[in-house]
């Protein structure tokens, strides 16, 4: 390349004719057409096409790779959400199992309490029957004692001396 093409490359790289390379390179005389060499529009177009053709395949590959990565990330996120829902489901199943085991425990307690209440009822029924029999027996014994006392009193009255009536 010749020295005349170099400013054109710089102008093409900067984004077009008449533009500076950056804020640090800008001069106070910027915009003055006299300072710039004449730029061939066809050369700028060819340089732009060359630059684009050089970087475009890589950019397109990068774009497709990014799209594929994004799709993979979406798939991964969906998979993670499914796994999270499975873990939540497992936790809820564990909680349900815990509730069932707790219910079984309390059911066993209720069955034991019911059995104890039935035993206590049977014992109290037997004790009531026994108490009634004992009460009847005591009343019978008291009646017999009372009758025995009355007999003894009657016998004593009969045995006591009676004064004879004087006639």
**Could you tell me the pTM of the whole model?**
0.41
User: For tokens 């009343």, what's the residue?
Assistant: 139
Within a domain: 104? yes
- 139 occurs within a structural domain: no
Distance separating alpha carbons of residues 105 and 111, to the nearest angstrom: 10
Count of structural domains within the chain: 1
| pLDDT tens, the chain, 167 aa long | 444 444 444 444 444 444 444 455 555 555 555 555 678 899 999 999 999 999 999 999 999 999 999 999 999 999 999 999 988 888 898 899 999 999 999 999 999 999 999 999 999 999 999 999 999 999 999 999 999 999 999 888 888 767 777 76
Domain membership flag for residue 144: no
Asked if residue 14 lies in contact with residue 21, where contact means CB atoms within 8 angstroms, the answer is yes
Does 17 fall in a domain?
no
Residue 41 counted as domain residue: no
Residue 35 domain flag? no
Does residue 85 sit within a domain? yes
In this structure, are residues 43 and 2 in contact, taking their beta carbons and an 8 Å threshold? Answer: no
Enclosing domain of residue 111: 49-126
Residue 116 lies in a domain: yes
């Amino acid at each position: 390349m010749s020295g005349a093409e170099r400013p054109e490359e710089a102008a093409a790289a900067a984004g077009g004719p008449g533009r500076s390379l950056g804020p640090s390179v800008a001069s106070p005389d910027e915009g003055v057409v006299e300072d710039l060499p004449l730029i061939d529009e066809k050369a700028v177009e060819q340089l732009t096409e060359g630059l684009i053709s050089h970087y475009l395949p890589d950019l397109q590959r990068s774009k497709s790779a990014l799209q594929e990565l994004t799709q993979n990330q979406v798939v991964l996120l969906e998979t993670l959400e499914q796994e999270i829902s499975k873990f939540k489901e497992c936790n809820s199943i564990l909680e349900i199992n815990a509730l069932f085991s707790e219910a079984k425990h309390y059911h066993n307690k209720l069955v034991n309490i019911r059995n104890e209440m039935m035993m206590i009822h049977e014992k109290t029924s037997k004790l009531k029957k026994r108490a009634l029999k004992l009460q009847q027996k005591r009343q019978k014994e008291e009646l017999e004692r009372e009758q025995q006392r009355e007999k003894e009193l009657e016998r004593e009255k009969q045995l006591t001396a009676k004064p004879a009536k004087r006639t």
